[in-house]
Amino acid sequence: MNFFQGIIDVYGDNSLDLDEAWDQGVRAILHQTSAGLYRVDTKYAARKAAALKKGFLWCGYHLLSAEDFEKQLDAFLTIENGSDPRIALALDWESTQAGTILFADLRKCVITFNKRMSWYPLLYGGWTIRETSELEAGDPVLAKCPLWYQRYKSTPDAIPTKTWPTYTLWQFDDEKRNFGAPPPSVLPGADWNRFAGTFEDLRKTWPFRGSAAQHAPATAFVANSQNPAAGPSPTGQPRRSGPPHAGRAVGRAGLEPATQGL
């Protein structure tokens, strides 16, 4: 199967050399805009402008926390209001220093996003996706979000296929580079992602503003949804099986407290 894997995601604490990225075949960048109500990324705007000028595809993503999701959505859509048809938008569902958003609140957040924007965001997740029983049973709302799936393995298994038959983007490797991305010295700190298709296929579907099904190429790997370790989550809180993605969850340099306009 052919993949296009010139897709990286970063946040303000990562270095980002756009010339190096281009030379390495990167053509799409997903960059954090903000985290919960406690951080905004001060490097986002300048990096976005430079990347668009150079010809990269661009996506802004917000790291959701357990804080008020409506205020978080207000903050995110203040940074990226959806008016630029070149820009994809994503919600990131994982652990943060301000807690993990509950499934019920995530669902409400996605519904609110759709009411305001008239389309659905990319939804990022790994253990949260795999360990939420409601997704294993099938959720018609989140099924409308193109899936940006984190799975650091040779195959993107354990997708809850009753919600998503497959992924749209697969984050297959992190800064350790154990699963086929360039060595750690190349664009250090960046995570790497795959799209099942050519770059031209990706370019045609970007910025993913149709239905999730429109963004999952027919050639994509259809995951095995069996996950015997995952059981019911009566509180709506996914169970945690590993450490959070530190880069996303705990911003340091390049981030500042979100104390204005929130």
Residue whose structure tokens are 């509180």: 235
- Give 43-93 pLDDT, tens digit per residue: 999 999 999 999 999 999 999 999 999 999 999 999 999 999 999 999 999
pTM (2 d.p.):
0.85
50, part of any domain: yes
Of the listed ranges 41-45, 202-206, 212-216, the least confidently predicted one is: 212-216
pLDDT in tens, 79-102: 999 999 999 999 999 999 999 999
Predicted confidence band of residue 2 (pLDDT cuts 50, 70, 90): confident
What is the pLDDT averaged over residues 169-192? 97
Look at residue 69 and tell me if it is in a domain: yes
Residue 139 lies in a domain: yes
Residue 262 lies in a domain: no
Q: Which of 31, 36, 99, 103 is nearest to 63 (CA)?
A: 36
The pLDDT tens digits of the residues spanning 215-258 come to 655 445 444 433 333 333 333 444 343 444 444 554 433 344 44
Total number of domains in the chain: 1
Q: Residue 210: inside a domain, yes or no?
A: yes
Q: Catalogue the long-range contacts made by 211-218 (C-beta closer than 8 Å, 24 or more residues apart).
A: 211/120, 211/144, 212/120, 212/143, 212/144, 212/145, 212/146, 212/147, 212/164, 212/168, 213/165, 215/146, 215/168, 216/146, 216/147, 216/164, 216/165, 216/166, 216/167, 216/168
Q: Note the pLDDT tens digit of each residue in 111-156.
A: 999 999 999 999 999 999 999 999 999 999 999 999 999 999 999 9
Please determine, for residue 259, whether its predicted confidence score (pLDDT) is greater than 80: no
Is residue 166 helix, strand or coil? coil
* Per-residue model confidence (pLDDT) at position 211: 60
Note the pLDDT of residue 61: 98
Residue 261 lies inside a defined structural domain of this protein: no
Q: Is 59 inside any structural domain?
A: yes
CATH number for the domain spanning 46: value is: 3.20.20.80
Q: Which domain range does residue 80 map to?
A: 4-256
- Asked whether residue 10 is assigned to any structural domain, the reply reads yes
| Distance from the first to the final alpha carbon of the chain | 45
Cβ(156)–Cβ(179) below 8 Å? no
Tell whether the model's pLDDT for residue 176 goes beyond 90.
Answer: yes
Average pLDDT over residues 173-181: 96
